[in-house]
Every structure is written in C-alpha cells, then in structure tokens.
Amino acid sequence: CARRFRSTESARQSNSEKTSTSLWRRLARVGVAFGVGTGIGFTVSDQPWVRHVLFEASSATVPLIRLLDGETAHLLAVWAAKHRLLPKEMRPDPECLRTVLWGREFSNPIGLAAGFDKNGEAIDGLLDLGFGHVEVGSVTPKPQPGNPKPRVFRLVDQRAVINRYGFNSEGVEEVHGRLARRLSQRTNELGLVGINLGKNKTSEDAAADYVTGIKRLARFADYLVVNISSPNTPGLRALQGRKQLETLLKQVLHARNAMTWGIRGPPPLLIKIAPDLSEEDLEDVAAVATRLRVDGLIVSNTTVARPPEISSAKHGEETGGLSGKPLMESSTNVLHRMYELTNGRIPLVGCGGVSSGEDAYAKICAGASLVQLYTSFAFDGPALVPRIKRELVECLRRDGWSSVSEAVGSAHRTTA
C-alpha cells in the first residue's frame, strides 16, 4: 500500500510539473514573440512596407496568446500596450478618413471600445496602433473587483466572446492620478480619449455615481460616456427607461455644465445603449436624448440574446454579454433605427461585431459618424487596425464618397 501511495503521489507530482512546465513554455513563447516584435519595432525604418510587416508579425503572436485563458490573455495584452511593446503606426491616415465631430478632429473614425483598457493604463500604446480614439473604462467611483472568475469565455469558431466582468475597476481616484500624470507628460497628441463611466454594484444612487465620475475625470476626456447598458451589473439597464433616463441625464448634464471650462467648452456627453431594447424603449431613448440635447449615442453594448449558433456552441450558455461577429447584424439594425428616430440630428457611434472595413462602412451608412471595435481586435491583433482602415478607404472610393462624413447615413438616403 505504501509503495502504491508513493507511486501515485509521484505520478501526481510528475503530472503537476509537466503542466507547470507546459504553461511556462507557452508563456515563454509569447514573451519571445513580443520581444522579437519589439526589437523589430525599435530598429527598423518607417517605410510603409516595413510597418506592414511589423503589424502582421505582431498579430502572428495571437494564436500563442490564445493558449492562455481569456482574462489572462487580456491582461497580457494590456501590459504589452502599457509598456509600448506593440507596433507603432507611422503612416499618416488618408485624408478621406479624417472626421470632425463635436469640434474634435479624429484622424480616422475607427476607435477601440471601452472594456479593453478599463483603468487607463495603456492609452498611448493603443493610440500608437493607429486608432482614431481609445475609450477608457468603464470606471466606477469606488474600486470593485467585479464578478467571480472565470468570467470571460471565447467562442473561437463564432468569433465571439461572452464576458461577465461586472465593472471590475480600480476606481476614479486611481484612474484620476494616472490620467493627470499622462496629461502633464503630453505623451501622445494624435489620438483622442473617451472616458466611459459606470456605477458601483452596491450603489443605491446611480446618478451620484456618474456625477462623481464626471467631477473627477471629465477634464481629461475628449468625450464622456454614461454606460447604462452593461448586462453584468444588476439593475443597470433599467436606467434606459424614459423616466429613469431623463432623471439621470438631467443630473449628469448639470454636473458637467456646472464645471469651469475653457474656450473649447465641456467634453461632449454620450450614452451607451443596449442592442436588446424594444421599439418602445428605443423611442423613449431617442425622445429623451433629443429633448435634453445629449451629444451622442453609442449603439451598442453587448447582448444577452443567444442566436442558435451560439446556444449550441461550447460556453454558449454562459451568462454575460455576447460580443463579436454574431452581434453585427442586430446592433447595426438598432443603429439604423436610432438614426431614423433622431432624424440624424444626434451623432451616433456604431459598435458591435465590427471586424472588417466593410463592417465599419455598413455602420457608417446606417448612421454612425464613428465606429468602435473590441472583440475582433482580441482575435486578430494589431494588424486589424491598418487593415480595417485600408478596407474602409476602398469602400468609400468604390461608392464615390470623398469623406466619411459624406457617407454617414447614406443607407437612409438611398432608401428614401
């Protein structure tokens, strides 16, 4: 019995060591890949073909990173961007992509959605990739850990992700300090930064939470977002109702307008809505946003719906918000409808399922002035950014548009 016990214990230790060794080998490979990409990035010229090769080489590490679980891979990617280990885009954006909105100039309309850089750690490393804007957050007033792990699930075949992070955040004070240091260093003048605000899970006064976020972080923002549509915070989506939304926005707008601003004025304030709203809910949101002169809407957040191809997939029944390719059609339909309901008078940001220039163009034609992505970036890596801009330029030229602004809402004009 003793021999058998020792033999079993020895086998367990051996298996544990093999597992540990395998994990470290995987991590080592990822580290080497990042190291090679970084070395190239610091030593090669800025010729266009070299930039292309560098971005493609960086994306070649994605399959290795995918060996890690979803959240670890996410943290590793944020760490790499934070330390400027990702390739830097040095090619200027084509003039046709230049977008002026709210008095701010975006070199291109493609941005990174909130959720990737939750705490404002990696802004400049992400802007280096060539995004026209990067959205930080969601940031909550007080630090909170979010939901228990595991809380991120990849559906690789469907190019989708289900997450139930639950607004894990370091809190406004930590993010405030980080953004203040960045502002004093003026490390990147090219891209714009949005700040997405959330509420604490246990808070009983949502408006007070958003007001706290505005008072502490608004001065660092090129635009602000009130996130009332995450499916992972109990009761949050109820704030999209007409009465609740109007009460909330009045307090939030008052807090922003009461602050002292320079010639440029206060940062525009947007609200981010869900793709699962009913027609009546959409009409309510449009009516309130129009009446209170909200500066913009982000359409949309993740969905709680589960299409058949998702329900039958591994992890498809996990709770949380679904993002990625399966969200493209439904979120674009909501975007199209919101453009109609607001008569094109409120700027819209199209978000959900974007993975190509053609997808971005579809959002623009449906009414979006800006476009955001996230899940496709997790699947395709840095090479996605220049590729999607290149494809968008091709779409604009194909249909005879000389600028993004000319194409905004064009699907409504052709069907009128």
Known catalytic residues are 230
Which residues in 5-44 are b (16+ Cβ under 10 Å) and which e? eeeeeeeeeeeeeeeeeeeeeebeebeebbeebbeebeee
110-112 and 223-227 strand pairing: unpaired
Write the CB contacts of 56 (distance below 8 Å, at least 6 apart in sequence). 383
How far is 200 from 138, CA to CA, in rounded Å? 10
What is the CB-side half-sphere exposure of residue 213 using CA atoms within 13 A? 35
Q: Where are the beta strands (DSSP E) in 46-202?
A: 99-101, 104-106, 110-112, 133-139, 152-155, 160-163, 192-197
Q: What SS3 state is found at 152?
A: strand
Q: What's the burial of 405, exposed, middle or buried (CB within 10 Å: 0-12/13-18/19+)?
A: middle
Here the tokens at position 120 are: 């404002």
How far is 73 from 76, CA to CA, in rounded Å? 5
Q: What SS3 state is found at 166?
A: coil
CA distances from 358 to 361, 388, 392 (A): 5, 8, 6
3-state helix, strand, coil in the chain (%, to 5): 50, 15, 35
Residue type, 256: R
Q: 351: part of which helix (H) or strand (E)?
A: strand 348-351
Residue type, 117: D
Residue type, 251: Q
